[in-house]
Structure 1
Amino acid sequence: MGPRIATAFRRIVRTNVARARDHMPDIATDDPEGVHQTRVALRRLRSAVVLFRPSLGKTVPKPLETRLKTAAQALGTARDWDVFLQETLPSLLRDDDDRATAAPLLALAETTRKRARAAAKRALANKGLTGSLVQLERASGEFEDSSPLGDQASDWLDRRWKTLRKRGGKDPTAHGAAALHDARIALKKLRYAVEFTDGLYDRDAHAAFLLRLTELQKSMGGLNDLAVALELLEKLRAADVDEAAAKLVEKRINRAYRDGAREVRKPWRALMRSEPHWR
């Protein structure tokens, strides 16, 4: 018969609420992984609520869903600065001369990151994230739907697949950073939906399709990080960062973006030609 809808939803909620709780204390200690993992857990919870909404009805109130979204957004800005300083810039500024030229920008970016992290801490406290997680757990425990998950799963996945193809088109890199972002989010939502339906379809085909989504999401995520880096760079320019440093970083970002776009196109075309395993 396969898993029931209510059972599957409770499992997803339990797993990701635990993940958020495990990592929330790390946010207070300024551990970047705490911000990242808590945000991932919140995104998965929101994705599950949206996906299961036709069955959930009013079990999970809309205001609760909104609070989860707001909490994830509060962590987003802090996460952007973490990635900028700990991943993007180190990969672009590889020699001593580059790092010396960029030093004024790095210093200002670090100050800005600390402010973003402090703002995230305040936002999480004000939005009562702990209480929201408790409420979601309680709601999932009260949710009753004994319908087989398999009765709904293919339709859910088909909708996610259709949205992805529409958002990305033939080339998700062809229409600018905003279009890339939309395609990347659609890809992420499809990946979550595929993960949520584990065990319903042929195991090998399921694993192969999920791996393809995961690898493409990583490539698109790296490209999106570069697009975000350009946005953060403009914020630093507005704060009168050293222009020589800004120009150097901008040049390195643009070059990396062109290279990254080429790396996305081939696996994207391969995915679009593939036959979804749930059909």
Structure 2
Amino acid sequence: MARTARPEKLGEKASTGDAASTSQPKDTSTSDGSTFAPTLQSELQRVAEAWAGEMGARARRLTQAKAGVAAPELIHDLRVYMRRLCALSDLLPCTESGCAARRMLRKEVDWAMQPLSRARDWDVFTIETLPLLWEADSDLDQDAVTKRASARSGIAHDEMYVHLRSARFQGVLRLFRERNEDSRVAMADCSSKALYGRIRRKFERWEKALRTRMTGLQKHGVRAQHQMRIKVKRVRYANEALRQPGASRQLERFVRSLGELQAKLGDLQDLRTAARLGREVSVSLSTGKLTGRKTEKVCARLLHKAESELRVACRLFLRKPSFRDIWGDVAHPGLPVGEAR
């Protein structure tokens, strides 16, 4: 179940392309042919608006789709853009009255994600995990398993469509718009240099917490891995908002290494989910009865291998330059290179 530096495997092409498009700088030519340097605030606001537009477009397409018709990539992309905007929300300043709204947004997004994640779990299980289980256990009745998995997947997707059309979910989208406006006002009250300093200090705290979590990973279990995945996502997605084409090869490699780490953690989560879902749908070819225990054993073997790969990925990441080392050499919009230090 090797992933290619993506938080999820399904929808990789669509999300990768959108991420690249949001990183392209705007044309900075004026009407008289001269050019101006975009400020850090304007660049961050541009990224926030682009991501919000992509999120809204996918939410509308899913809301308007007929049950069972929407592509799994749409669900994947909607979840990714919501997480990206949450990471950006955590990174950017807020007004005094907007801090409570930022906390509310985080809470509501956690709620909004639940039906989306359940539908996606079944997509990953039926499309990616089942072929691995069939290869590992020849006694699985492929027809029976496929029918049971499709039925349960259909239920999860139907619940997701109802969820997306609910007033509360539409309220979550409205909270994103309000948070975007609040961050715009808050950024307007500080200089690019001051904003850069605040962002840099926050990133350094995030990376320190991530590296601390990574070094103690072997002493903990599933919960530690889950918390680390949350931290990896936040650092990675927030970095995507700040990354400029050609600004720093080290920064590009840093973001890519976070993606690889996130992919390994995602593999573990998918296998644990497969063990849980497999209990509901795995049918023995020889007996015709549910055989969830055998599926759990197969997933346990695959998990052992995936955990070994995660440990290797963690060691490689810990050897890479830290965020502090990398960002000393990165130029940002509105800041001379020397001033960024």
State the TM-score, normalized to the length of structure 2: 0.70
How far is the alpha carbon of 1:215 from its aligned partner? 1.4
Counterpart mapping for 1:20-169 below 5 A: 20-24=55-59, 25-26=61-62, 28=65, 29-52=69-92, 54-59=93-98, 61=101, 62-94=103-135, 97-98=138-139, 100-130=140-170, 132-134=172-174, 136-137=176-177, 139-141=179-181, 143-144=184-185, 145-146=187-188, 147-148=191-192, 149-169=195-215
- Of stretches 119-128 and 24-33 in structure 1, the one that deviates more from structure 2 is 24-33
Shift in CA distance, 104/247, structure 1 to aligned 2, threshold 3 Å? farther
Aligned to 1:195: 240
Q: How far apart are the structure 2 equivalents of 1:200 and 1:31? A: 30
Q: How far apart are the structure 2 equivalents of 1:192 and 1:270? A: 20
- Of stretches 71-80 and 141-150 in structure 1, the one that deviates more from structure 2 is 141-150
How far is the alpha carbon of 1:9 from its aligned partner? 4.2
Q: Does 1:268 align with 2:314?
A: yes
1:218-246 Cα offsets, whole Å, 9 max, x none, are 12211221122223334558xxx9333x2
Unaligned runs of at least 5 residues, structure 1? none
Q: How far apart are the structure 2 equivalents of 1:105 and 1:49? A: 42
Aligned to 2:289: 242
Aligned pair count reads 271
Q: Is the 8 A contact 2:87 2:234 kept in 1?
A: yes
Cα RMSD of the aligned pairs, angstroms, is: 2.9
Higher gyration radius (CA): 2
- Of stretches 80-89 and 190-199 in structure 1, the one that deviates more from structure 2 is 190-199
1:175 corresponds, among 213, 220, 236, to 220
Report percent identity of matched pairs. Answer: 27
Q: How far apart are the structure 1 equivalents of 2:175 and 2:221? A: 39
Unaligned runs of at least 5 residues, structure 2? 1-36, 283-287, 329-341
Q: How far apart are the structure 1 equivalents of 2:224 and 2:281? A: 24
Shift in CA distance, 58/124, structure 1 to aligned 2, threshold 3 Å? farther
2:47 corresponds, among 5, 12, 33, to 12
Shift in CA distance, 133/89, structure 1 to aligned 2, threshold 3 Å? same
The structure with higher relative contact order (CA 8 Å, sep 6+) is 2
Aligned to 1:206: 251
Shift in CA distance, 179/106, structure 1 to aligned 2, threshold 3 Å? farther
Q: How far apart are the structure 1 equivalents of 2:136 and 2:179? A: 53
Shift in CA distance, 184/177, structure 1 to aligned 2, threshold 3 Å? same
Letter of the structure 1 residue corresponding to residue 327 of structure 2: W
Q: How far apart are the structure 2 equivalents of 1:8 and 1:242? A: 58
Letter of the structure 2 residue corresponding to residue 177 of structure 1: V
SS at match of 1:243: coil
Q: Is the 8 A contact 1:85 1:109 kept in 2?
A: yes
- Of stretches 86-95 and 39-48 in structure 1, the one that deviates more from structure 2 is 86-95
1:42-63 Cα offsets, whole Å, 9 max, x none, are 11112211222x4344347244
Shift in CA distance, 95/251, structure 1 to aligned 2, threshold 3 Å? closer
Q: Is the 8 A contact 1:30 1:117 kept in 2?
A: no
Counterpart mapping for 1:253-264 below 5 A: 253-264=299-310
2:264 corresponds, among 215, 219, 222, to 219
How far is the alpha carbon of 1:3 from its aligned partner? 3.5
